[in-house]
Each structure stands twice: as C-alpha cells, then as structure tokens.
Chains A and B, each alone.
Chain A
Amino acid sequence: MDAASLALTFLYYGATLVLVLGLALRIRRYATVPAPLKIPTTPAPISRTGVVLRMIRELTLFESLFKSNKWIWLFGWMFHFGLLLVLLRHLRYFTDPVWGWVAFLQPYGKYASLMMVIGLLGLWFRRLAVDRVRYISALSDHLMLALLIAIGVTGIAMTFAVGTDVVAVKAFFLGLMWFDWQTLPSDPLLYSHLILVALLMLVFPFSKLLHAPGMFFSPTRNQADNPREHRHVSAWALKLEKGNG
C-alpha cells in the first residue's frame, strides 16, 4: 500500500469521525434545547399525523420554498434531488453484493449528477446576479457552492469522460469498512474527488449544512397547532412557576 492511499485512508477515518460525532452533538443540542412556546407558522396541522405530512412535504417537495420563489425552488430541488440519487448510487461502493434497487438506480444516478451540477450552477448564478442574494452572501456561501460543483464535476469527468478503476475504488472503500486497507489507483481526478468529499464531510457539522438536521427541529414547522387543547410548558418555565407563581 502506497503512502497516498494510506493518507487517504486516515483522512476518511478522520472525516467520518468528525461528521458523525459533530452531527450527533449538534442534533443532541437541537433535541435538548427546550421549545417553551407554541410557535407553529399557521395555518398549521392540528394533529401529529398532520405535522408528519407537513414535514414530509417540506423535505421532499420543498413546499414553502415553492410558494416563495420558483427559480430557487427549481435549482434547489434539482441539486438536492440530484444529490440524493447520486448518494444512493454511491452505495454500490459500500455494499457487496450491491443491493438490487441500488443497481436499478445506476443509469439514473449517472444523469442525476448532471442535474445536480446544473442546479448548483443556477443557484450560484442567482447568488452572483441578484443584488439581494449577493448582499447576503459571505465568502463561505460561494465556496460551499464551489466545493459541491467541484465534487460534481470531478465525478462527472470520471463517469462520462476519462473513467477510473471502479473495482479498485470499491475495494478501497470496502477495505475501509472492514479494516482491510487497500491501495487506491493513483488517478489525480479520483484523488481530487475524494479529497473534496472528505473536506465536505469535515465542514458539514460546522457550517450552514446544518440545515439538513435543523429542518427537523424547526418549531415553526414541526409543532402541532393545539395550544388550547394541550397545555405546553417547558421545564424552565415550570421552574419559574414554582418560584413565584
């Protein structure tokens, strides 16, 4: 095994650790900070089932965003849905034998990467062209798009243009999973792709990518509209009541 492969091996262990631990800590925080008041944006569902349906619509269709801005919705949805398919397609590098439905997705996943990059380019174009969005953008917002596009483009190049030794790549990742480390073909495109992905994993828990877990904890979306029927009191508010109430 060469030094580069070994470095990448450790990079991936590190990145995975940061991603998983970082996300877990963040999610624990979101789950434990209390929501003392009922603040769903109404009209809101009045039952738990209704809330679950609302959340599913937000997650899969970006319902609020659709009401809001059709262009952001279109590009955003292309990017995310593309990303989802691409991620699912990548499961083939981690499963042996490859699950049936993952195999089924392969041809679609291939084109999903194009959809993803087109969506990202659209979002970046808006970020640069629309004065309001440009005003609110920090350097990190541009770099995040650049990073994702770079991941997408290096991936697309390997899939559609130059190709890479996917059998060896799969061996490498299965090796990571089962602690049976393997050498990675020394292909600069492949290395770029993998280093960028590791970078994405590393920044995930420290960046706005926290919107993914955050979405599930947003009180304006995940609360049921039933304050008259059910008294809702947080632990600290109860303490307040005991103190002087």
Chain B
Amino acid sequence: MAEQPAFDVPELKPYPVIPKLVEDTMAHSQPFVAKSDFQEPLGFPGERVDDWQDVAIKKMGELTDRYRSLQVFLDSCVKCGACTDKCHYYLGTTDPKNMPVARQDLFRKVYRRYYTFAGKYMPWLVDAEDLTEEVLDDWYKYFHQCSQCRRCSVYCPYGIDTAEISMAAREVMDSIGKGQKYCNEIIGKVHTIGNNLGLPEPALLDTLEGLEEEVEEDTGVAVKFPLDQKGADILLVTPSADFFAEPHVDGLIGYAKVLHEAGLSWTLSSHASEAANFGMFIGSYENMRKVALRIREAALDLGVKRIVFGECGHAWRVAYSFLNTLAGPFDFLDPRYPVPQHICEVTHGLIQEGRLRLDKSQNDGMVLTYHDSCNVARASRMGDIPGGQFEIPRAIIRASCNHFYDMPADTVREATYCCGGGGGLLTDDLIELRVKGALPRMEALQQVVEDHGVTHMAAICAICKSQFAKVLTYYGFQMDQIVSVHQLVSNAIILTGSEQEKEAELSEAA
C-alpha cells in the first residue's frame, strides 16, 4: 500500500485550482531496476556499463539522428509554460519535475551541454548540465513518472510531446544497463511466450474453454472462443489481461458474443496472444517491431483475412499508428477492411447495420460515464473521420445502455486525463504515483457522480481497467465501478436462440 495517507477526493471547482509547486515531493518514487536476466534478452547490457556517461551521450546523439520529433522538440521549446499545469502527475503530486516542460528539461539540459553551442560554452546561461550521477537518478525517477499520455502535446503551441522525450530517455537508460524491471520483464515474456502475462498455450486453452462453459450456462448458446483456428477470417488480438482479469474478461466475453451473433469466423492466436506492445514504452523500435512481427506471423500462419484488436489503449496506438509501419505491408489480407480494425469499429458497424439486437434495459442497474483512454484519444483514430475514437465507443455505450453522462469537457476526448497507470507504470512499486496521478480523473468522476448519480465508468483499455480497479478504492469508490465497454454490450446483447431471446419474446407476447 502507499506510504502516503489516504487522499481526500477534492470537489471539482468551476475553475480548477492549479496547485502551487512543492519541490521533491516525488523524489523518492522509482520503479525496480531490471536485473540482467531481463535486460540481456532485449539486447541491453545486464548491468550499468563502466563508461556509462559516454555511452549515454553517444546514444543521445544517435537518437536525435534517428527521430525528428526528438531533435525538433529539444530545440523548439520556448519555456512558455503553457504545458506546466496539464500533466495529471503534476496536478496529483505538485512536484515541479512532473511539469511536462520540466520533465523534458531533465533531458534537454544534458542535450544542451553536449550538443549545442550555448550549452557547451555558456552552460550557466541556458541551464545546461553535465550528465552526472544525480542527473541520471532524476532521469530514472521522473521518466518513470510519465505515462506517455500526450496530454501535454495537445496544449503545446508546437505540439511538443513529452512522451517522445520519455521514450528516448528510457532508451538511453536501457542502453547503459539501467532498465526498468516491469517493462523489460514483460517484453521478454512476449518474445519467448507471446504475451505479457506469460500464459502458455495450454493455459490459454483452458481459460477459453472455461469461458465457453460460462457463456453457455448464462445464455444457453454455444458461443465459441476459438484458439489457433486455421482458416478463420478474423484474427483477434487482445490484451492478455482480457483472459482473466476483472473487468477485462467481461469485455472478451462481449467480443465473442458480438462476433458469434454476427456469424463472423474468428480466432485468437497463442503465438500473438498479446495486443499490448511495451516496446513503445521503452522507446525501442527494435523491440516494438519484434513484438509486432508476431502478429504478422500469426496472421500468415493462420491464413486470416482481417486483424481486429480488442480493448486496449497503448496497444491500439501501436496497432493503429505503427503496425503497418512495423510489420506491414498487409497486402495478403482482405483489402476491403482497414488493417487493423478495432473491435469497437466492428461492433459499431454491426450495430449500424442492424445486425445486433441490444436490450438496453439489461444495463439499467448502472448509470454510466466513459473514460477516454489517453492513447486511443490522442494517438489513434477509429472509423473514417477524425474524432471517431471519441464517437464510436460512446455510440456503442448509448446503444447498450439507457443512462450515460459525459464527465466535464476539459477531462474527456482530446483533453482526457490518463488513468495514472499507463506507459509502463502499472506496477506495485509505483503505487503512490499511480494513486496521485489518478486524482484529476477521480475529481471528474466525482463530479458526474454528484451531478448525475453515475455509478460506473466504462473504458476500453486494459491498463485503465487494472489501474482503476486498484486506485478507485483509495478515493472512496468501489473497485467494480470500472467496466469494459464490451461488458455493456455483453449484458445487452440478445443472442439468437438464447434464454434472453425467449424471455424477450415472452414479455413481448404478454
């Protein structure tokens, strides 16, 4: 549990108060460092290398040669301060190094020292600094207090995205042997087993059979959860948390019901049994690509025609924005469908075509709101028009529920706050940070609870769901107040031949 006393949930004021900064409130927060067993399989040194400063500085130069974003962002910031109050970690912790620009400056001051004229000859003028032990400590701490949510990027006049700097900093740290245990251990598991949780094929099969039984018991319909089925039309790639975590698994049941009802042939893959791609969190193109290639391999091996992703935020960013780059071209798939598609796009399309029957009253026990996951909102799209990533999930919720209210406008859609656990921070060694970082979202939730009697918050991200299930309780909410969007669909859907269908017919006849 967190060492800090429990947090009060402050009421949201009409004009949100920006906290005064208090230095070093989070200077003690850092995740466990990866041991060599987790470093080496990813191609990183097992321990901190002797000439780490030189290696790090050289790596920094390589990255500015590789990424225009990094190069331009390091040069362009004017210190206008517009981003300083935009990060949920600053708002929740008041630690000034959690202000996006200050976080960037931890990296920028070293860049300036070694790569700019002013920093080389007049470091005192531009706050340039040598890469010292203290600076590296700060990097490790504060680049693991950024969930790469891109909220700062929306508000910066040049679109400077602190996530890009965090990724670069983590890559530099990996290159000198100072990686983060949580991310690197997980990536290793994906490389060897195929998913973040390290679930081997037999365990998957077992879980899926259990789900089939459960659904048949509930509905009387034999909804299948196929695994490694060659010749299926759709490869469904979903975060491995969907296989048993709550409320994730209810979402998975929802996808299965939708695909079953629409008569679509689909399969999961044990080789690509993970939608998430933590390679992005550590900024490693190579690792990200290696993880992404598993999906291509599975698609080729199973001979599918389409690829669909389950509910996951950063995963959808990598899928939507990067998959074609990393593992394309996908010219062997059916060209009538975008590659990849989001399960919400599929479900929404089916609803529009009238191919799903949804009984909204099944969700009458809940009053819902919707949490836009940061990377879906600001790093991807759904459907054909910009902003589809906001409208499509909401349209699905509205089609499945009678009671839906949005949270305040400055906390949703492109302005959404991260759940506090994204970007490779969803680990117990960072629980204090996670609780504090959730503050802005909790305030917004509290507001709709008060104004509209909202009881549940829906999300489409495995990290958001796990994070909220954990931190909601710190703010006086219940852990089951977070639900999957497809859980709502699952509750409402009337499967052909199901008990629910019979009931519905009876009540219509009566």
Residues of A at the B interface (CB closer than 8 Å) are 26, 29-30, 33-39, 41-46, 58, 62, 64-65, 67-69, 72, 76, 123, 126-127, 130-133, 135-141, 143, 206-208, 210-211, 214-215, 217-221, 225, 227-233, 236-237, 240, 245
Task: From A29, A36, A41, A127, give the contact of B150 (CB < 8 A).
Answer: A41
Chain A residue numbers with a CB within 8 Å of B83 are 68
Q: Jot down 19 A-B pairs with beta carbons below 8 A, ordered by A.
A: A30-B68, A30-B71, A33-B66, A39-B69, A42-B378, A46-B386, A130-B81, A132-B18, A132-B81, A132-B84, A133-B81, A139-B126, A140-B126, A140-B127, A207-B118, A211-B75, A211-B76, A211-B78, A214-B76
The winner among A126, A227, A237 for most chain B CB atoms within 10 A is A227
- Size of the B side of the interface (Cβ < 8 Å), in residues, is 72
Contact A225-B79, Cβ < 8 Å, known A36-B67, A135-B99, A231-B324: no
- Candidates B99, B105, B159; contact of A132 at CB < 8 Å: B99
* Interface contact A220-B380, CB-CB below 8 Å: no
- Of all chain B residues, which has the CB nearest A232? B325
Assess the A43–B414 pair: CB atoms within 8 A. Answer: yes
Q: Indicate if the CB atoms of B155 and A64 lie closer than 8 Å.
A: yes
Q: Which residue of A lies closest to B84 (CB)?
A: A132
Contact A68 B325 (CB under 8 A): no
In the complex, the 7 A-B pairs of residues with the closest C-beta atoms, listed nearest first: A214-B76, A220-B159, A133-B81, A43-B386, A68-B155, A138-B127, A132-B84
Contacts of B79 in A (CB 8 A): 133, 136-138, 141, 208
B102 in contact with A220 (CB, 8 Å): no
Q: Is B164 an interface residue (CB 8 A)?
A: yes
B7 in contact (CB, < 8 A)? no
Cross-chain pair count, CB within 8 angstroms: 206
By DSSP majority rule, is chain A's interface helix, strand, loop, or mixed?
helix
- Measured between alpha carbons, how far is A139 from B127 in the docked complex, in Å? 8
In contact, B99 and A41 (Cβ under 8 angstroms): no
Query: Does B461 have its Cβ within 8 Å of any Cβ on chain A?
Result: no
Residue of B nearest to A222 (CB): B159
Q: Residues of B with Cβ closer than 8 Å to A? A: 18, 20-21, 64-69, 71-73, 75-86, 96, 99, 101-102, 105, 116-118, 124-127, 150, 153-161, 164, 285-286, 289, 293, 320-322, 324-325, 328-329, 338-340, 377-381, 385-387, 389-390, 414
B340: A residues at CB distance < 8 A: 228
Closest-CB distance, A41 to chain B (whole angstroms): 5
Q: In the complex, which residues of chain A have a beta carbon less than 8 angstroms from the beta carbon of B21?
A: 131-132, 135
Residues of A within 8 A of B389 (CB): 42-43
Nearest neighbor of B415 in chain A, beta-carbon distance: A67
Given contacts A30-B71, A43-B387, A46-B385, 16 further A-B contacts (CB under 8 A): A29-B71, A34-B66, A34-B67, A35-B68, A41-B379, A42-B379, A64-B156, A69-B155, A139-B124, A143-B125, A211-B78, A215-B157, A227-B321, A227-B324, A233-B325, A236-B66
Kindly report which residue of chain B lies nearest to residue A46, judged by CB atoms: B386
Which B residues are CB-close (under 8 A) to A217? 68, 72
How far is it, in angstroms, between the C-alpha of A68 and the C-alpha of B377 when the chains are bound? 17
Per the bound structure, the CA–CA distance linking A72 and B339 in Å amounts to 41
| Cβ B96 vs Cβ A42 within 8 A | no
Cβ contact within 8 Å between A39 and B161: yes
Q: Nearest Cβ distance between residue B300 and chain A, in whole angstroms? A: 13
Residues of B within 8 A of A233 (CB): 325
